[in-house]
Each structure stands twice: as structure tokens, then as C-alpha cells.
């Protein structure tokens, strides 16, 4: 009589082993320990190492069969069809699994009980069996695999019901032997990743059930799927080449790669670099796990569907694949795009084998596709999963999601920890999404009116000129500031011109982007700055704190563009200085773990517990050691002091070109960080501080070079420091120390609630430890320095270096926001280490204060324009152009804080500027460090202010100043509807202007006053009679000839030099040439320098200008003619601008890390020179260069 064991069907466990590690003995032991009585174990050894001894030691009864080479799991397993007879089932096993002792019994029982052809167990993690890996899988109609469980899910028995599934995951699969033989086993073309999908699909086509028996538990190490076991080289390099059969197997690629490597060994340095780059490129085309997965999924679709469904599904699949490629490319997920492309390419190249396989499938078909698809998911599982991840975790997480689609890469950690981390990260990310969504909502809501209607002409928010005007301003060599100057224009105008060009002339949109974009850009920089501390909430808190400090909104409300730019740039500058403070890159391992600002918690190990030892450089956390998030390695030279100075210099140059105070600000940041490093102390503090100073100063030097010739002209000017630092308001308007401390120097921050963040920022000093305390200290010292500078500058104690408070407070804002973020990090990391006490209370209070501090900005958002005045001086002075016969100038006087545009300082709290035909545009924001001849206008105003003249109109007349506008407020003030920042000019000014007998006051209302000078000459005028006298026509008392007999008011403007002129040649403001017909006489052009202007006429003789009124140009015209008055610049200016552009291109190219184009140009130059030399010497082309080109 047979025993029950003898009645059990024969099962052969087929283990495909490829050089397994120490876990293999555990697997063998597990198989040997199965309670199933009729189990035979067959080891198919496909690796290099002979496993016979190892198998014999653990499972003496097992059979070992060595295969000649690794054909892949499926092809290797198929050999059992020839090797084994009489088996009822095959148990196909990977070499990294360990089934529980009763697993096989349960699977076999279930196979018989359910009459299933394929049975899958429940897979759990190798080291922590509580963590689920797979309990059966399913697919959509496109073959995309979808797991039934969530990543990190803990096994509570929730999936323990037996059920039909579409796919039995690989690892330990029980297959009925007859079914396996009928369908021809695994697809031999599938090396790995997808063989079970194809097998299960075909099994179902053949009428078999695929089921999961969760009672059978198998631990799985997932070596291949997790990437810990690499693909064989022949598979990895088997990049398909369409229409090139020889390349399908990868030999060509491998050979070329190897050839390149071989050549690199003995090649010169330059060629080695090229060859190395070539090798890198070759590697990027290798087959990846993702590629395998995608191509085998597609193969299963192409093979296993019937005709109807194949032609129905295929177009959908093509469309979705195309869209996926485009999206992946657009979002930078090139590996994903490459995998999709690879899938289609490979299947095209495998079309022959595909046809054969499809025929076999159809031969075994017992069920139609509709029946097979009953277990498939509807819709596109991949698209849904991508969207879900993108919405839940962000775009980067969505990109990484492909790992989750197949296997979990985190095999090395415990399941519980992984699950906990996963849940925590998901909750964190969801909260982050909510926080950022709220922030964006507030920003958009608060800026809705500005986005819709644009900016009023107040402060520095002047309208942008056209892109061509910007570029013309940059390249022409003449600026209309004052009465004209040939000083170089700031490259900022060129940058804005290019920006307008990129936006197809939409300079209005450009202005909104540049102005409003500063706010999120600054927050992004702050997030980057604090990102290195590994706390997601620290990043969120610091970014939100930086977003909610009143500074940017006060800057908007007061029209301070420079403050906004500083707000955007300062965190980035601090990031770079912080990196510079780290130890030398030579001291760090290039392959060491990187937890830097670029590596967010999403992709990095992230969290930093504690901190480095005292004196060790905590900035290593912030310093980027070389590798980027995507694995790209930055050029090594960029991590040197010079490289960092160059990088920071470019950033500083960009800032300074738009806001000259950026240079001073960078030095303040440098000083603050260096001082903070010294104050905090520790080992290497002095060295670290020195590095910061070196990089900061070096960056300023780089900025000077990059911005030349503008920087040279600024530094050479008499008011160089005013140009760089900005103009100082009257000391009486300096903010109080309290206002500075809570960063409230404007209308929005002028509330006690704004103290919240400052007080909350104290928290890390109280509870922080390690790196958080170190950096909190540095942040506070930085803030303290900025506060002190702003306070001293507000009182005029810093002289010409008194940076306006709105700008100088930005570093303080950076320090406060950074400290707030560090407080959150300390709360997460340090607080749990303390006993319950006052620290917890302090943390709670800080959180409350932080919340309270957001209220002023939330309230300010209600206006939709951040309290920016609705009307500016552009509208209020638009009537001027209609009233004046020709071109004219407007003299603007007032406190620099409220004066629209850029200006020159006249006295403390009083500045002046000139504009043409009304309010100027944004090009007037950079007036230069010297007013040139326009300085006489300022001198005349000073005479009036000091009661030393009553004929200011007479003095201003030769400068074509028709209107004098004295501004008291930021914008025209309307009681009840538009309160505006008020900064009255010195009282003597209005008294002095009121004293002038030749100025007529037109408008005197709240906000501004307008005087008109009726005697002013037009900017271009013609006097038919006598020419302009050079000496007598000058301004001064000598030309005064008041009438002694005429009745009426004294007529000081009735000087012969100022009478008899009429306007001609009207043009747009800032024009460097104007054409028109003019009668005979003397043409006066109120522009300087006179020597750079000339008259060109069709009938008149070309002539250089003569000097008039000591500065202006005049021409004699003997007969009526059509003439052109134009600026004739110097060729040196064009050369300088060209050199500047080339320098920027070279520096940016070098910093981008993509120097191939440089090499390409260098090689081209070499080739050209070679050809030339060859021609010259008769030797032909340089073959060395050709060889390199060939490799390319």
C-alpha cells in the first residue's frame, strides 16, 4: 500500500542560479525543509562559480546542472522540458528566495483544488517578513504591471484570500508541467523582467487559471529588480539598431566602447577627455531594467493578443507611448523616455521571432481575448499611476515611480521602517503640497490686480522700454540720462532687451515676470539654502517664513525693484557663500554621500541627525561635493575657490547689472557670513571664514570684470558709491531700530505682528544643537550685521555707502527665515532629546508666533496689489506732452525713496533727475555715477534751495527743463483712496521754488507739485536769426538783461540768448537720431556731449556740433533743408560691448558644465587651422583631428 507521501504528485523545484551570495545556502535549506514529500530540487547553474559543492553541503539530494552561459531565467528554465520527465509541477525559483516550509504544499494543494495552471505565493521581504512585496499582480491592456499592494505595506493578513490574478510575480512560481510544456515554456527572448507576465498571459490564453495562494509565504531578496545584481554585459549593451542586425546583440556597442576605452589609455589628455565622454555617452544607451521591463511588456502585448485586440490596442499604445516620451523628455526624465523608445525599437528588431511566437500562441489558444482580459485593469494603469504620483508626491516622485511599478529598490531596510518612512513621507509630501498650494494661492490672490492691470509708474516700477530700445540703449554708446552722456550702459538693459526678445516683444509680461517672479524665486532659494539640513519641514518653514516676511511686499508697495531683486538673489548668494565656506573639495570624497541643497529628501537619504563635531565644517551639509541629483558630476574646478568665485560672480553680476546695490549687498553677505563663522567658532572657523571672504571678494572682482565697461565708468565717476549703494533718504525718515528688527520698513510690515518671525527665529538658539545651532548662530550674526548697517545707514552714518533700508534688510530677512527653518529642524531633531520642559513650551510659542507673523501679509493680500498705489506719476504728468510744442525735459525733485526712476543725490534726502517728454521709462533706473553737464541743473536747484537765486527758470531754460516736479509721496496721493508713502523733500526746497519769480506753479496737490518754466528752450529748437553765442549764451548773471521799461513782471528769461527759439525736430525720448525739414538758422540740440553729435543733410553740408550754453550742440544751417541730427559714437564702445558679450558667453558656457561645444569649436578651429597649415605646407588635413571627429 502506498503511503500518502507516495500519492503526492512529483514537483521539481527549478532554481536558476547565477553566482548567488551567501543567502543561497538559506534558500537551499528552505527548499530542503519543505514539508512536501515529493519535491526534487534542480539547480541550473548559469554563473561563473560552480555551485556543486555549495549545493551538496546544504542539500545533498539536489541536482546541479551547469549551463554554458546565462541565457536568462526563462530560457534557462526551459531546459527542464528536456531534462525532466514525469513531474506534475515545476516550481520555478530565483536564487534569492526562501519559502516557508509549508509553502509548496499549500501551492500544490491550491493548484489541485482550484485547477489552476499557475500558482503564485505571497512574497515578503527577505529580512523582515512583515513587509509585503507582492500578492499577485495584474496588468492593463497595454501590459503595464500593477501591483495589488501599496509600497511598504505591512502584512496583516489583509491579502490572504486565494484569488485569480492575471500575473504571478516571478521568484517562486508553481506551474503545472503539462501546461508548461504545452505553451512552450518561457519565452526565450525574454532575458529578465517580464518573463512571468508572458508566461501567465499565454497560460490564460491556453485556458489555465493563474492564482495566488497567500498562505504560501516566500521571502524574496529581489536582487535583480532592486539593481543589486547587474545585467550581464551582453544584455546591457544589446541596444537594438534598426536595420542593423549585427548591432542587436550589442557587440558593436561593446566593441566600440571597449575600443574607446583602449584608445583612451594611451591617448593624450585632450583626447582622453573626448574618449571618456564618448564612453559615457555609450553607457547612457545601455539597456536598463526599465528598458527590459517596457520592451517585454510590449512583446507580451504584441504576441498574446488576437488580431482584433492587437490592432485595437496597438494604436492606443503607440499614442500613449509617444505622449509618454514627450512628457518624459520635457520633464527631464530621459531614462524613462529612452526605455519607451527602446521597447519599440527592440520589438521592431525582434519582429521575426515575434511572428513565430505569435503563431505558437494562437495555436494553443482556447480562450478569446475578451475572456483573458477579464482580469486586466481598465484604462492606462501607467498613466493613472503617474498622475497619482505626480499629484501626491510631486513630479520627481512620479518620475521615480517606475521602480515601484516593478520592484521595490529598498531591499536593504526593514519592512516596518520602510513602511513607516513611506507613510511619513507621503504625509509630509501631501502636507507640503497643501502648504505650497496655499502659498501660491495667497501670492496669486495678493497680486491679482498687478497681474491683470500692470504696475503704476511709481518708484522704480517704471514702464519697460521696448526690447529694441533696451538693446539700443545698451549698444548705442549714448544714454539720455541727464542731458546725455556717453558713459557705458549697464548690461542689465541688454539682459532685459534679450528677455523682451525672447517673449516676442512682450515687455509688459517681462516686467511682471521680473518683478513678481522675485518673490517665488527668493523662496526657492531659501528652500535650497535650508535643504541641506535634511528636514522637509525646515525647508517649508524657512521658505514660508521668507515668503511672509514683509520685505518683498513692502518693496512692492514702495516700488523698490532693487529690494525685490535683492530679495530674490540673496538666498542664492548665501547658498554659494555657504558652499564656499566648506572645506576644500580635495578634503572630501567625491563619492561620498551627498546631502546638499540640490538633493531633496525625496531622493536623498536626507535626514541629518545631530551634526558634525565642533569645528568640523557643518557646511559640508550645504556644500555640493560634485555629484548632482541626477548623478551628473560638476566639473571639479568649479568647487575650487576660483570656480566658486566665478559662479558667485556671475550671479552677483546679474544682480548688480539690474540693481547696482547688489555688489554692496554681496559684500555685506560675505562679511556677515564670515563674521558669523568666527563668532560661532569651532575648529577651522578661521579657515572657513577666510574662504567665504575670498569667494565673496573674488566674486565682486569677477562682477567688475563681467560688467565692464559699465563698472569701470561707475567706479570712475564722482558719485560711484551713491550709484552702487543707492541714494539715501533723509535721516529723519530712517526707520526706528524696532521697525528694522521686525523687518517692517513699509506699510505692510508696520505692525507689531511682524515681530513674530524674529522672535520665532530665536528658537534654534535655545533648543538647537550641532549643525543647527552653528548655522542658527551664523544666520543671526548675518541678520545682526544687516540690521546694524540698515540702522546706521538710515541715519546717514555710512555716508555714501548707505544702502537703502529696504535693500539692506534683505540679508536680515534671509537670516531670520533661515533661523526659523533651523528652529523647525531643531524641533524635529533636537527637541526629542530633551526632557519635557520650557523648551517644548518655547517651541510651541515659536510656532504660534510664526503663525501670527503671517497675518499682516495675508491681510495685505486682500488688496490684490500689496498696497501698491493704483496711480503713478506717469498718469499724473501725461498732460505735459500735449501742452508742449516740442521735446522738453522734466526735472524731478524729491526724496530718493519716492522719486520715480533713478536719480543723483543733491543733498541728504533730496535727489534730482531729468526725463524727456514726461516720466521716463525703466532705462532711467541706471543714471550713472556722474550727471555730467546735467550737474549744472542740480547746482541751480541748490542755489534756489539756499535762497541764492530767484531765477531758477532762467538757469534751467538752456537745459530744456520745462517742468519742475517736486514729489512728496510715492504716488499722487488721493485722500481716502490712495494713501502713499510720504517723504517730503527738505522744506527749504519748496520755499526756494516758491521764491522763484520765473517759475509758475501749475499743480499743488497732495503728493506732488509742478512748476513750469515758460522760458525753457525746446530740446531741439531753431532760431532763424543770430547764432547762439558761446560765451554770452551761457547761463549766469552776465546774460541777464531784465527790461527797465516794460510793464509786467520782470522777465529774466528775456535774455537775448534765450529768446527767439521755436521747437523743431520732435522725436521719441532717447533717440540718437532725428530727421526733419528745418528752416535756415541755428539749430539747438540740448544734448551732451556736443562733440559726439553731428548734422547730416541732403542739401546741407555735414557738420560737427558747436558748443552752446556750455554743454549743448548747435548747428548752422544756411538754407532750409531736410537734415538729420544724430549721435556718432566711438568704435571703441562697440568693441567693448562685443568683448563683454563674448566674455559672458564664455563664462556661462564654462559654468554650465557643458563644455563639449567649446571643445567642438576648439576642434573646428584646429581643423581649420590644420587645413590652412596643410594647404600652406602641402600636407593636407590633420589626421589626429579627423580621428577625434570620427569618434564623435
Partner 1 sequence: MSQSGSHAEPVAASESSSHRLQGLFVGEVGRRLRLLFAVVAIVAGVATADGLVGRSGSSSFPAAGSATWATVNSSDAESSAWFCVGGSGTGGGALGTLVLTNATAHAVSGTVLAAPTGGADRSTRVSVPAEGQIGVVPAQVAQGSWVAATVLLDGGGVGVSEVVTGPLGWSSAPCASSTSSNWYFAHGSTASGASLSLSLYNPSTTDAVVNITLDSSSAGVVQPPAYQGIAVAGGSLVVENVGDHLLDDPEVAAEISTSSGTVVAAELQSTPQAGGGGGSSLLLGVRSPVSEWEFPQNLDPPGGSLVFHVFNPSDHEASVSVKVGLAQGAEQPLSLRVAPRSGSELVAEHEMRIPTSGPYSLEFHAAGGVGIVVDREVLAQAGSAFPRAGQVHGVAGGAHRALLPAVIPPGTGASSLAISGLSSHPVVVTVRSAVRGVPLAGLDRRVVQPGRPLIATPQPGSPLGVVPLLVEASGPVAVELDASATGAPGAVVVPCFALG
Q: Which of residues 1019-1038 bind partner 1 (CB under 8 A)?
A: 1036-1037
Instruction: Please identify, using beta-carbon distances, which residue of 648 and 952 lies nearer to partner 1.
Output: 952
CA dihedral 612, 618, 624, 629 (to 10 degrees): 60
Binding part of the chain for partner 1, among 86-94, 557-565, 782-790, 1114-1122 by CB under 8 A, reads: 782-790
Nearest in space to 577 (alpha carbons), one of 524, 528, 514, 518: 528
Binding partner 1 by CB under 8 A: which of 57, 242, 348, 994?
994
Binding partner 1 by CB under 8 A: which of 392, 1043, 1059, 1152?
1043
Could you tell me which residues come within 8 angstroms of residue 399 by beta carbon, excluding any fewer than 6 positions away? 328, 331, 332, 333, 336
CA distance 696 to 680: 19
Give the contact letters, 834-863, x = binds to partner 1 (CB under 8 A), - = no. xx----------------------------
Q: How far is the CB of 790 from partner 1 (least distance, A)?
A: 10
Task: Look up residue 745 and give its three cell numbers.
Answer: 520698513
Footprint of partner 1 on 863-902 (CB under 8 A) = none
Q: How far is the CB of 987 from partner 1 (least distance, A)?
A: 6
Instruction: Please identify, using beta-carbon distances, which residue of 583 and 788 lies nearer to partner 1.
Output: 788
CA dihedral 243, 245, 246, 247 (to 10 degrees): 70
Binding partner 1 by CB under 8 A: which of 584, 878, 991, 1025?
991
Residue 680 binds partner 1, judged by CB under 8 A: yes
Q: How far is the CB of 741 from partner 1 (least distance, A)?
A: 7
Whole-Å CA distances, 38 to 87, 444, 644, 906: 10, 71, 70, 103
865 and 572 Cβ atoms separated by less than 8 Å: no
CA dihedral 796, 800, 806, 812 (to 10 degrees): -90
Q: How far is the CB of 911 from partner 1 (least distance, A)?
A: 17
- Beta strand pairing call for 1081-1085 and 1020-1023: antiparallel
CA distance 133 to 150: 9
Q: How far is the CB of 882 from partner 1 (least distance, A)?
A: 20
Binding part of the chain for partner 1, among 56-64, 726-734, 896-904, 969-977 by CB under 8 A, reads: 726-734
Q: How far is the CB of 312 from partner 1 (least distance, A)?
A: 58
849 and 754 Cβ atoms separated by less than 8 Å: no
Residue 989 binds partner 1, judged by CB under 8 A: no
Q: How far is the CB of 756 from partner 1 (least distance, A)?
A: 16
Q: How far is the CB of 1000 from partner 1 (least distance, A)?
A: 5
Angle at 567 between CA 564 and CA 570, to 5 degrees: 140
Footprint of partner 1 on 135-194 (CB under 8 A) = none
CA distance 456 to 453: 9
Instruction: Please identify, using beta-carbon distances, which residue of 170 and 1053 lies nearer to partner 1.
Output: 1053
Instruction: Please identify, using beta-carbon distances, which residue of 795 and 1167 lies nearer to partner 1.
Output: 795
Footprint of partner 1 on 606-635 (CB under 8 A) = 609-615
* DSSP characters over 951-962: -HHHHHGGGTEE
Task: DSSP letter for 231, please.
Answer: P
CA distance 739 to 737: 5
Whole-Å CA distances, 991 to 456, 908, 995: 29, 17, 6
Instruction: Please identify, using beta-carbon distances, which residue of 717 and 784 lies nearer to partner 1.
Output: 784
Query: How long, in residues, is the chain?
Result: 1192
Binding partner 1 by CB under 8 A: which of 310, 312, 687, 995?
995
Instruction: Please identify, using beta-carbon distances, which residue of 459 and 794 lies nearer to partner 1.
Output: 794
Binding partner 1 by CB under 8 A: which of 158, 946, 1059, 1098?
946
Instruction: Please identify, using beta-carbon distances, which residue of 593 and 615 lies nearer to partner 1.
Output: 615
Residue 736 binds partner 1, judged by CB under 8 A: yes
Residue 1110 binds partner 1, judged by CB under 8 A: no
Instruction: Please identify, using beta-carbon distances, which residue of 33 and 939 lies nearer to partner 1.
Output: 939
CA distance 568 to 552: 9
Binding partner 1 by CB under 8 A: which of 66, 281, 683, 1183?
683
Q: How far is the CB of 609 from partner 1 (least distance, A)?
A: 5
Binding partner 1 by CB under 8 A: which of 243, 1044, 1131, 1177?
1044
CA distance 1149 to 1124: 42
Residue 1042 binds partner 1, judged by CB under 8 A: yes
Instruction: Please identify, using beta-carbon distances, which residue of 412 and 610 lies nearer to partner 1.
Output: 610
Angle at 1075 between CA 1069 and CA 1081, to 5 degrees: 105
301 half-sphere exposure, CB direction, 13 A CA radius: 27
Residue 1050 binds partner 1, judged by CB under 8 A: yes
189 and 353 Cβ atoms separated by less than 8 Å: yes
Instruction: Please identify, using beta-carbon distances, which residue of 871 and 949 lies nearer to partner 1.
Output: 949
Binding partner 1 by CB under 8 A: which of 1001, 1054, 1106, 1187?
1001
Binding part of the chain for partner 1, among 513-521, 663-671, 781-789, 910-918 by CB under 8 A, reads: 781-789
Binding partner 1 by CB under 8 A: which of 734, 804, 874, 938?
734
Q: Count the site residues for partner 1 by CB under 8 A.
A: 76
- Beta strand pairing call for 1020-1023 and 1073-1078: unpaired
Residue 806 binds partner 1, judged by CB under 8 A: no
CA distance 755 to 1121: 69
Q: How far is the CB of 535 from partner 1 (least distance, A)?
A: 12
CA distance 12 to 93: 10
3-class DSSP state of 812? helix
Footprint of partner 1 on 275-334 (CB under 8 A) = none
Footprint of partner 1 on 815-834 (CB under 8 A) = 829-830, 832-834
Nearest in space to 800 (alpha carbons), one of 792, 811, 812, 788: 792
Q: How far is the CB of 583 from partner 1 (least distance, A)?
A: 17
3-class DSSP state of 1065? coil
Give the contact letters, 761-780, x = binds to partner 1 (CB under 8 A), - = no. -x--xx--xx--xx-xx--x
Amino acid at each position: 500500500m502506498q503511503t500518502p507521501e507516495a500519492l503526492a504528485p512529483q514537483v521539481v523545484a527549478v532554481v536558476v542560479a547565477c553566482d548567488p551570495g551567501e543567502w543561497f545556502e538559506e534558500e537551499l535549506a528552505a527548499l530542503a525543509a519543505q514539508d512536501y514529500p515529493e519535491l526534487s530540487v534542480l539547480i541550473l547553474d548559469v554563473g561563473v562559480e560552480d555551485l556543486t559543492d555549495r549545493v551538496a553541503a546544504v542539500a545533498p539530494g539536489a541536482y546541479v546542472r551547469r549551463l554554458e552561459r546565462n541565457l536568462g531565467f526563462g530560457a534557462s528554465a526551459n531546459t527542464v522540458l528536456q531534462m525532466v520527465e514525469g513531474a506534475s509541477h515545476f516550481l520555478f525559483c530565483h536564487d534569492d528566495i526562501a519559502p516557508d516550509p509549508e509553502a509548496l504544499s499549500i501551492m500544490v494543494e491550491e493548484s489541485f483544488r482550484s485547477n489552476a495552471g499557475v500558482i503564485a505565493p505571497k512574497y515578503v521581504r527577505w529580512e523582515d517578513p512583515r513587509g509585503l512585496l507582492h500578492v499577485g499582480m495584474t496588468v492593463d491592456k497595454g501590459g503595464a504591471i500593477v501591483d495589488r499592494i501599496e509600497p511598504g505595506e505591512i502584512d496583516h493578513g489583509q491579502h490572504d484570500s486565494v484569488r485569480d490574478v492575471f500575473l504571478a510575480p516571478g521568484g517562486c512560481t508553481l506551474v503545472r508541467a503539462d501546461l508548461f510544456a504545452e505553451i512552450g515554456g518561457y519565452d526565450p527572448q525574454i532575458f529578465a523582467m517580464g518573463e512571468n507576465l508572458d508566461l501567465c498571459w499565454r497560460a490564460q490564453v491556453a485556458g489555465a487559471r493563474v492564482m495566488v495562494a497567500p498562505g504560501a509565504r516566500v521571502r524574496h531578496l529581489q536582487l535583480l529588480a532592486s539593481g543589486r545584481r547587474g545585467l550581464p554585459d551582453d544584455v546591457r549593451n544589446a541596444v537594438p539598431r534598426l536595420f542593423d542586425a549585427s548591432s542587436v546583440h550589442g557587440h558593436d556597442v561593446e566593441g566600440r566602447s571597449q575600443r574607446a576605452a583602449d584608445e583612451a589609455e594611451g591617448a593624450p589628455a585632450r583626447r582622453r577627455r573626448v574618449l571618456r565622454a564618448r564612453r559615457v555617452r555609450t553607457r547612457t544607451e545601455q539597456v536598463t531594467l526599465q528598458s527590459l521591463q517596457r520592451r517585454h511588456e510590449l512583446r507580451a502585448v504584441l504576441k498574446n493578443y488576437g488580431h482584433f485586440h492587437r490592432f485595437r490596442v496597438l494604436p492606443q499604445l503607440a499614442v500613449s507611448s509617444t505622449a509618454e516620451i514627450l512628457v518624459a523628455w520635457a520633464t527631464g526624465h530621459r531614462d524613462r523616455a529612452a526605455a519607451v523608445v527602446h521597447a519599440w525599437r527592440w520589438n521592431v528588431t525582434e519582429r521575426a521571432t515575434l511572428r513565430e511566437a505569435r503563431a505558437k500562441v494562437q495555436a494553443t489558444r482556447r480562450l478569446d481575448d475578451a475572456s483573458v482580459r477579464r482580469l486586466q485593469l481598465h484604462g492606462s494603469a501607467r498613466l493613472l499611476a503617474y498622475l497619482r504620483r505626480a499629484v501626491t508626491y510631486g513630479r520627481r516622485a512620479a518620475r521615480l515611480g517606475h521602480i515601484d511599478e516593478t520592484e521595490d529598490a529598498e531591499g536593504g531596510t526593514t519592512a516596518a521602517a520602510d513602511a513607516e518612512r513611506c507613510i511619513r513621507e507621503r504625509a509630509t509630501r501631501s502636507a507640503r503640497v497643501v502648504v505650497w498650494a496655499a502659498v501660491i494661492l495667497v501670492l496669486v490672490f495678493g497680486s491679482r490686480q498687478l497681474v491683470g492691470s500692470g504696475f503704476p509708474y511709481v518708484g522704480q516700477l517704471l514702464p519697460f522700454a521696448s526690447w529694441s530700445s533696451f538693446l539700443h540703449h545698451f549698444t548705442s554708446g549714448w544714454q539720455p540720462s541727464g542731458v546725455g552722456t556717453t558713459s557705458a550702459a549697464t548690461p542689465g538693459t541688454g539682459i532685459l532687451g534679450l528677455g523682451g526678445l525672447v517673449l516676442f516683444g512682450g515687455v509688459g509680461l517681462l516686467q511682471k515676470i521680473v518683478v513678481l517672479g522675485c518673490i517665488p524665486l527668493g523662496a526657492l532659494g531659501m528652500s535650497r539654502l535650508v535643504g541641506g539640513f535634511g528636514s522637509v519641514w525646515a525647508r517649508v518653514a524657512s521658505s514660508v517664513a521668507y515668503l511672509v516676511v514683509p520685505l518683498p511686499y513692502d518693496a512692492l508697495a514702495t516700488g523698490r525693484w532693487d529690494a525685490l531683486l535683492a530679495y530674490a538673489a540673496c538666498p542664492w548668494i548665501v547658498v554659494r557663500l555657504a558652499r564656499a565656506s566648506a572645506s576644500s573639495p580635495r578634503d572630501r570624497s567625491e563619492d561620498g554621500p551627498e546631502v546638499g541643497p540640490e538633493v531633496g529628501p525625496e531622493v536623498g537619504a536626507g535626514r541629518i541627525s545631530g551634526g558634525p563635531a565642533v569645528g568640523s565644517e557643518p557646511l559640508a551639509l550645504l556644500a555640493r561635493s560634485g555629484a548632482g541629483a541626477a548623478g551628473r558630476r560638476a566639473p571639479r574646478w568649479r568647487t575650487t575657490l576660483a570656480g566658486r568665485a566665478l559662479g558667485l560672480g556671475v550671479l552677483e553680476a546679474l544682480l548688480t547689472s539690474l540693481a547696482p546695490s547688489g555688489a554692496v549687498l554681496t559684500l555685506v553677505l560675505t562679511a556677515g557670513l564670515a563674521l558669523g563663522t568666527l563668532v560661532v567658532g569651532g575648529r577651522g572657523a578661521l579657515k572657513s571664514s577666510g574662504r567665504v571672504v575670498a569667494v565673496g571678494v573674488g566674486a565682486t572682482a569677477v562682477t567688475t570684470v563681467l560688467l565692464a565697461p559699465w563698472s569701470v565708468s561707475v567706479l570712475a565717476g564722482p558719485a560711484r558709491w551713491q550709484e552702487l549703494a543707492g541714494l539715501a533718504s533723509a535721516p529723519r525718515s530712517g526707520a526706528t531700530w524696532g521697525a528694522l528688527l521686525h523687518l517692517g520698513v513699509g506699510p505692510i510690515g508696520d505692525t507689531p505682528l511682524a515681530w513674530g518671525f524674529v522672535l520665532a527665529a530665536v528658537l534654534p538658539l535655545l533648543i538647537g544643537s550641532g549643525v543647527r545651532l552653528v548655522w542658527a548662530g551664523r544666520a543671526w550674526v548675518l541678520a545682526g550685521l544687516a540690521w546694524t548697517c540698515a540702522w546706521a545707514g538710515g541715519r546717514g552714518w555710512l555716508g555714501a555707502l548707505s544702502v537703502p533700508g529696504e535693500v539692506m534688510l534683505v540679508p536680515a530677512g534671509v537670516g531670520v527665515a533661515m533661523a526659523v527653518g533651523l528652529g523647525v529642524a531643531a524641533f524635529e531633531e533636537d527637541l526629542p532629546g530633551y526632557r519635557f520642559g520650557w523648551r517644548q513650551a518655547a517651541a510651541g510659542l515659536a510656532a504660534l508666533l510664526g503663525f501670527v507673523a503671517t497675518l499682516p501679509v495675508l491681510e495685505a493680500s486682500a488688496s490684490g496689489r500689496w498696497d501698491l498705489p493704483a496711480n503713478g506719476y506717469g498718469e499724473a504728468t501725461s498732460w505735459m506732452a500735449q501742452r508742449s510744442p516740442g521735446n522738453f525735459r522734466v526735472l524731478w525733485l524729491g526724496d530718493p525713496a519716492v522719486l520715480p526712476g533713478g536719480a543723483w543725490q543733491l543733498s541728504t534726502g533730496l535727489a534730482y533727475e531729468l526725463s524727456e517728454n514726461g516720466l521716463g521709462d525703466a532705462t532711467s533706473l541706471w543714471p550713472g555715477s556722474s550727471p555730467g553737464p546735467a550737474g549744472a541743473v542740480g547746482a541751480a536747484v541748490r542755489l534756489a534751495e539756499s535762497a541764492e537765486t530767484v531765477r531758477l527758470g532762467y538757469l534751467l531754460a538752456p537745459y530744456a527743463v520745462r517742468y519742475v516736479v517736486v514729489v512728496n509721496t510715492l504716488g499722487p496721493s488721493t485722500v481716502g483712496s490712495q494713501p502713499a508713502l510720504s517723504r517730503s523733500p527738505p522744506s527749504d526746497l519748496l520755499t526756494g521754488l516758491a521764491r522763484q519769480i520765473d517759475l509758475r506753479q501749475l499743480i499743488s496737490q497732495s503728493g506732488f507739485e509742478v512748476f513750469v518754466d515758460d522760458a525753457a528752450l525746446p530740446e531741439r529748437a531753431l532760431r532763424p536769426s543770430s547764432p547762439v553765442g558761446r560765451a554770452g549764451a551761457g547761463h549766469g548773471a552776465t546774460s541777464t538783461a531784465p527790461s527797465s521799461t516794460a510793464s509786467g513782471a520782470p522777465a529774466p528769461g528775456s535774455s537775448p540768448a534765450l529768446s527767439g527759439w521755436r521747437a523743431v525736430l520732435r522725436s521719441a525720448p532717447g533717440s540718437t537720431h532725428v530727421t526733419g525739414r528745418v528752416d535756415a538758422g541755428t539749430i539747438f540740440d540740448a544734448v551732451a556731449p556736443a562733440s559726439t553729435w553731428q548734422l547730416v543733410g541732403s542739401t546741407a553740408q555735414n557738420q560737427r556740433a558747436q558748443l552752446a550754453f556750455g554743454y549743448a550742440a548747435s548747428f548752422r544751417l544756411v538754407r532750409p533743408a531736410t537734415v538729420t541730427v544724430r549721435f556718432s559714437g566711438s568704435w571703441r564702445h562697440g568693441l567693448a560691448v562685443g568683448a563683454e558679450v563674448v566674455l559672458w558667453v564664455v563664462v556661462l558656457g564654462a559654468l554650465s558644465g557643458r563644455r563639449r561645444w567649446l571643445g567642438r569649436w576648439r576642434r573646428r578651429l584646429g581643423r581649420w587651422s590644420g587645413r590652412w597649415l596643410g594647404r600652406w605646407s602641402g600636407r593636407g588635413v590633420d589626421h589626429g583631428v579627423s580621428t577625434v571627429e570620427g569618434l564623435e
